[in-house]
Structure 1
Amino acid sequence: MSHPDPARGADSARLLEAILSHVPFDGWSETAFRAAAQDAGIDLALARVLCPRGAVDLAVAYHRRGDAAMVAALAAEDLGALRFRDRIARAVELRLAGADRELVRRGSALFALPQHAATGAKLVWETADAIWTALGDRSDDINWYSKRATLSAVYGATVLYWLGDESEDGAATRAFLDRRIGDVMGIEGAKAKVRDSKVLSALLAGPIWLAGRVRAPASASATAGQGAGDQPAGGAAR
């Protein structure tokens, strides 16, 4: 059995920290990656072993570090008195509170490129999965997918709105997020009405039966949104 090399993990963490000061000027680019390796005192050849895709791998690591920080922050909060929709909103707020706006802006530009769009979509899915898992979601059927898909859409739209928000203390972003969550709750209400309607249930018996056969991945939290080429650099993340 192979074991992670602690030295390589430390080198990856140093690369990530080193690139953050260059990204606002050069983006998550080859220029920023080379500068990070130089600043961290890591040979460029070793840096490429640690991050085969260069700055892209570090952008992935930055995002995942943010997810980990959000999960830790949620665990430290008392959410018992909040409605479930407010718990979701709080999770998204914590996720954005721990992010640097310019680094995220540059990351959004990177993952909007066709060659990196799939990686960007996987990262948003991972964030949605991290939120649902942290909030205690135990669904194991098609709802596992639908919850994460809808929250991915809400989170992605909120991030884009947040990037341009100049309101005091992010009030406009919070209002936008609340509206998006309200839209999702409306969809869930419509789904409940379909299930409760005997006529509609009869008409949709086939699709409903098929949906009932769908199951979440065996190791949902470990596999959701992951790809063979999307391993975090040294395990670091946003």
Structure 2
Amino acid sequence: MHEITERLARAALPHVPFDGWSQDTFRAACADAGVDESLARVHCPRGAVDLAVAAHRLGDAELRQRLAAADLTGMRFRDRVVHAIMLRLDAAGDREVVRRASAMFALPHHAAEGAAALWQSADTIWTALGDRSDDFNWYSKRAILSGVYGSAVLYWLGDDSPDLSATRDFVERRIADVMAIEETKAKLRQNPLTRPLMEIQARLSACIKAPQSGTSA
């Protein structure tokens, strides 16, 4: 992310609860960051939409730092995923800022950006936790976790429980559901009747992903 974009995104955050991710917020961010609006448009041609995307990326960057510094020794893998999601929610900051972004990304013409942001957060979590899959699992893990994180955000926005305990319980239930699916897939790979089908699926998925080797979502 360019330094100017980061400055603008950070400068926009105090204005979002009052004006949303709007043109007014974009102009206020330019003024507060000391960036001429014409230059800001070079880096953020869509104005506040690009600032909202940049703010989300800042949250992912903070998550990477927190996970790198966290001691996950002794945690079950599912607990590491839950912990990562809770850290990402905390890194999101002001809930009203996130609420405004969620409303914007729910609009049809911004839905693709919203989906991409969730995917990026899921990819950040899996990568930070050491995922090395290179077949269909690479896609399925991120797609499933995108859904889990997206639902967790919506739950978190309305959670007034002490220490967000209700949100943690919600995330733990969703991750338990995901782990049950993964256990079923593992059994299918071990079953001599279904193993050939799973192997074919893995080879096809590897062929699909091969051209994208070395890139990230």
- Regarding TM over 0.5, the answer is yes
Percent of aligned pairs sharing the same letter: 59
Aligned pairs for 1:49-198 within 5 A: 49-99=42-92, 100-198=94-192
Q: Aligned with 1:60: secondary structure?
A: helix
Shift of 1:17: 2.2
Paired letter, 1:161: Y
1:42 paired residue number? 35
Q: Which runs of 5 or more structure 1 residues have no equivalent in the other structure?
A: 225-238
Amino acid at match of 1:45: S
Name the SS of the counterpart of 1:199 in structure 2: coil
Distance 2:100 2:54 in 1: 14
- The partner residue of 1:218 within 197, 213, 216 is 213
1:31 Cα offset (Å): 1.6
Greater helix percent: which structure? 2
Structure 1 residue runs of 4 or more that deviate by more than 6 Å after TM superposition: none
The TM-score with structure 2 as length reference comes to 0.92
Contact 2:136 2:201 in 1 (8 A): no
* In 2: Cα distance, 1:117 partner to 1:125 partner: 12
1:25 corresponding residue in structure 2: 18
Task: Give the drift of 1:35.
Answer: 1.8
Alpha-carbon separation, structure 1, partners of 2:89 and 2:29: 25
RMSD between aligned residues: 1.7
1:213 positional shift = 2.6
1:185-224 deviation digits (Å, cap 9, x = unpaired): 111111122223333446xx3x64133231243124xx31
Structure with the greater relative contact order (CA < 8 A, sep ≥ 6): 1 or 2? 1
> For 1:148-206, what per-residue CA distance to the aligned partner results, in whole angstroms no more than 9, with x for missing partners?
1111111111111001101111000000000000000111111122223333446xx3x
Aligned to 1:236: none
Query: What TM-score results when the alignment is normalised by the length of structure 1?
Result: 0.84
Question: What CA distance in whole angstroms lies between the structure 2 residues aligned with 1:197 and 1:16?
Answer: 51
